[in-house]
Amino acid sequence: MIAISGLTMLAGCAGEINPAKASLFDNLRNISSGEYDRQISEQNAEVEKIIASNKAARENISSLETQTIQE
């Protein structure tokens, strides 16, 4: 009974959300709460922004190169 209440207390505490620093209990809580899925989605969205920005920059460079060749 004491062990169960101790685990409940640990699970209810605010813990580390950085997977590299999180304890076993933090990792279990973060997996079950969806925190890690949220972090992955956030990082994927950032990657997509960077890819879109890079694509736009490549298109701009290509356009400038085409203008230079035509002149």
What's the pLDDT score for residue 14?
76
Q: Which of 51, 27, 50 is nearest to 39 (CA)?
A: 27
> What confidence tier does 46 reach under pLDDT thresholds 50, 70, 90?
very high
Distances (CA, A) of 53 to 23, 46, 50: 36, 11, 5
pLDDT tens by residue, 12-33: 567 999 999 999 999 999 999 9
Q: Is 67 a residue whose pLDDT tops 60?
A: yes
Q: 19 near 36, Cβ under 8 Å? A: yes
pLDDT of 3 strictly over 60: no
Query: In terms of pLDDT, which residue wins out, 46 or 6?
Result: 46
Q: Which is more confident, 66 or 11?
A: 66
